[in-house]
Amino acid sequence: MSGISDQREVALDRIRNIGIIAHIDAGKTTTTERILFYTGRNYKIGEVHEGAATMDWMAQEQERGITIMSAATTCFWKPYFNTHLPKERYRFNIIDTPGHVDFTAEVERSLRVLDGGITVLDASEGVQSQSETVWRQADKYNVPRICFVNKMDKLGADFKATVEDIRTKFGVKPAVMVLPMGSEDHFAGVIDLLTRRAYFWEDHQAATEPDIKDIPEEFQTEVESLRAELVESIAETDDVLMEKFLNSQEIAVDELKAALRRAVIDYKLVPVYAGSSLKNTGIQPLLDAVIEYLPSPLDIDHISGLKPGTEEVIERKLTPEEKFCGLAFKIQTDPHVGKLTYFRIYSGVLKSGTYVYNSSKNVKERLGRLLLMHANQREEIEEAAAGEIVAMIGLKETKTGDTLCDENYPIILEGITFAEPVIYLAIEPRTKADQEKMGMALAKLSEEDPTFSIKSDPETGQTIIGGMGELHLEIIVDRLKREFHVDADVGKPQVAYRETIKQMAEGEGKYIKQSGGRGQYGHVLLRIEPKERGTGYEFVNEIKGGTVPREYIEPTNKGVQEALERGFLANYPMVDIRVTLYDGSYHEVDSSELAFKMAGSFAMRDAVSKADMVLIEPIMKVEVSTPEEFMGDVIGDLGSRRAQIQGTNKRGNISIITALAPLAEMQGYVTTLRGLTQGRATSVLLPSHYEEVPRNITEAIIEERKGKKA
């Protein structure tokens, strides 16, 4: 494939930064592969089931048929059908994201830098739990979306039910753009409701152009009814069109499209398309929809950030003429070039070989080379401008979520927030040589993945790794072996329990030491209170009259935090707590930072002993899709795992069970479910919240932890 750097120059209003997001197995990567084929980026389609998908380039992705790493690429598309926008070449910067919940960090960081998204749904499954999760993630970053109802040829495909799911589960207003002609084996193509044209894909070969025909007679009544609903939905978002609609005036298709574009960008409507990516059906209308309805950087207009060291909000227009700024959204270790930093340029121009200012870290870094990425292939470029997504080589200090900008015009953009790990494993290298390599390898992997954590167990000296699920840690261990040639043994997964308190209490801590020469003196009084679940730690300074000098406040806070990290009940970290320092005393000569740090730690120990400590555990949202005949067995098994059944509903001959269950009880669940249902049921586990552990189980956990320490 020839380079694309010579084709990059397109006007800013013809750039689309889009992501493909979906539940696992909805056909997201297959859809991406078709997009790459139709846009001329690939000459041949890479099939997921054959382990040949372009965007799934990691060995683990090809073996498992799932996406693990978000991959970026650039391609071009000229509108295929009639459009209200210029019929010129448009540039798509695409990020294909994972669908599995364990790799939620990849989705989170991709959504943070995208301007629009395509949500792919399975027509037979509708809106599944992970689709809801990624939809909420996209809501957080205000990303306009199009829905593509895929797998219309699959057994149980139901377009109308999926549209209803979009309405109720996503809580949005769908704008149905097409009517599928038939479903399952009889799916022949789609009817465009606005233009009243039928598109047939006869032999389902990729190279086949759709036949454009008049609407078959049997669909005419339904098309007119759905079209009227669509026109009304669009008119409701625009005063001029609403007036025409109320006066029963004909509204031109171009007017409707222009109004719909505005409504999509303002999050008022979500266009819904349909097709079958595997059968090469419905992709051209979807690509046209990306151009017609998803925003360019110009539509987004500007990005806001803070002036460093202040709360002052400043803006940057998303144009090359503006001062340079952008966001690092992903770090990747490449065996050939070392550390790659993926970067979205929001404003200005970036040149290779220049210095860039990291305003998040307050450091200058030299940018070695600039690359355009196509999955794991690279093309070197001299410069890139606003609206582009590139990779950079040479940056040492920059991490995920850091802002790079013009040093004379600094700005800090909103970073990216990531979930905390919910599961941990002990990992031990097999040989001394492995030990040396393992530390480096783990550090590189944690730099790549903000939801992957490494810590050392102070009692056993073991290395403990944490992640979002069993699959996440399994992939990490596999990558250690393949990419870094580290052999390691792993222990049983351990759940990320936490400790907290249920009532307010006060505590006193004194650290006094007299042993010849200068002594030590620190004395503090603390008040502790429980906070709402998930709100974390807060330290409040209420010292009046200098009873504790200012220089000893932060050391006291440090002592408190270290004590919280160690925990008190079963040595798990303590969370969701407000600690107020309200009094104390000091000695002119003997007081020191160390003395107050120790006093803070002692005061915590004293306070928590009076505050009704409890253990809390991660609760998962469980969604099981099972043939009806196994429903009783599945519910019975969930009940034995302390699960609370939230509801059941039917979709065709499949029953969908939703429940909340403790993560501790769900280990190895996939294997059990397979055995209960002859391999016909599927399940998804999503982190939901933390909840108090029953008293009898708490006692057993404390006993076990004491046994390990003994």
Lookup: tokens for 111:
């959504």
110 in Cβ contact with 13 (< 8 Å): no
Q: Which of 59-63, 133-137, 311-315 has the lowest mean pLDDT?
A: 59-63
Residue 459: predicted pLDDT? 59
Tokens of 140: 């957080």
DSSP state letters, 577-589: EEEEEEEEE--TT
Token pair 């990306």 is at which residue?
A: 290
Q: What is the pLDDT confidence band of residue 348, given thresholds at 50, 70 and 90?
A: very high
Q: pTM to 2 decimals?
A: 0.71
Cα–Cα distance for residue pair 137/153, rounded to 1 Å: 29
Can you tell me the mean pLDDT for 582-597?
A: 93
Average pLDDT estimate for 503-521: 87
What confidence tens digit (pLDDT) does each residue in 668-698 have?
787 888 888 888 888 877 788 899 999 999 9
> In Å, how far are 177, 291, 445, 473, 690 from 163, measured between CA atoms?
11, 22, 40, 36, 33
Residue indicated by tokens 């769900």:
666
Q: How confident is the model at residue 130 (pLDDT cuts 50, 70, 90)?
A: confident
pLDDT at residue 580 greater than cutoff 80: yes
pLDDT over 80 at 708, yes or no: no
* Interhelix angle 283-293/28-38, nearest 10 degrees: 80
The SS3 call for residue 613 is strand
Average pLDDT of 331-351? Answer: 82
Q: Would the pLDDT of 593 be above 60?
A: yes
Distant-in-sequence, close-in-space partners of 544: CB < 8 Å, separation ≥ 6:
none
Say which DSSP state 505 is in.
E
Does residue 117 or residue 28 have the better pLDDT? Answer: 117
Whole-number Cα distances in Å, 38 to 95, 288, 293, 442, 448: 16, 12, 19, 39, 32
Confidence category of residue 67, pLDDT binned at 50, 70, 90: very low
> By three-state DSSP, how is residue 560 classified?
helix
How many angstroms separate the CA atoms of 460 and 707, rounded?
A: 13
pLDDT in tens, 150-177: 999 998 899 999 999 999 989 999 999 9
pLDDT at 705 over 90: no
Residue 627, pLDDT above cutoff 60: yes
Residue 420 has pLDDT above 80, yes or no: no
Integer Rg of the chain from CA:
28
Q: Is the pLDDT of residue 710 over 60?
A: no
Query: 148: which 2 tokens?
Result: 């593509």
**Planar angle of CA 199, 175, 130, nearest 5 degrees:** 100
With bands split at pLDDT 50, 70 and 90, how would you rate the model's confidence at 448?
A: confident
Strand ranges across the sheet with 369-374: 363-366, 355-358, 403-405, 325-334, 338-347, 389-393, 369-374, 377-381
Please tell me the predicted confidence (pLDDT) of residue 98: 57
- Inter-axis angle of helices 220-235 and 253-265, nearest 10: 60
Higher pLDDT, 429 or 178: 178
pLDDT at 140: 82
Q: Which of 194-208, 494-508, 529-543 has the lowest mean pLDDT?
A: 194-208
The predicted structure's pLDDT at residue 58: 41
Residue 64 has a pLDDT of 39
Structure tokens at 309: 């060291």
User: For residue 201, what pLDDT band results from cuts at 50, 70 and 90?
Assistant: confident
Indicate the angle between helix axes 283-293 and 253-265, nearest 10 degrees. Answer: 70
Whether 365 and 397 have beta carbons less than 8 Å apart is answered as yes
Phi (first) and psi of residue 364, to 5 degrees = -100, 140
Cα distances (angstroms) measured from residue 573 to each of 499, 565, 577, 605, 675: 6, 4, 11, 13, 36
Per the model's pLDDT, the better-predicted residue between 388 and 129 turns out to be 388
Give the whole-angstrom CA distance, residue 35 versus residue 19. 12
pLDDT per position as a tens digit, 455-478: 877 656 778 888 877 777 888 888
Phi, psi of 104 (to 5 degrees): -60, -25
DSSP code at position 74? E
Cα 318-324-327 angle, rounded to 5 deg: 80
Residue 458 pLDDT: 65
**What is d(CA 455, CA 458) in angstroms, rounded to the nearest whole number?**
9
Average pLDDT, the chain: 85
For residue 377, what pLDDT is reported?
A: 65
Question: What is the maximal distance between C-alpha atoms in the chain?
Answer: 102
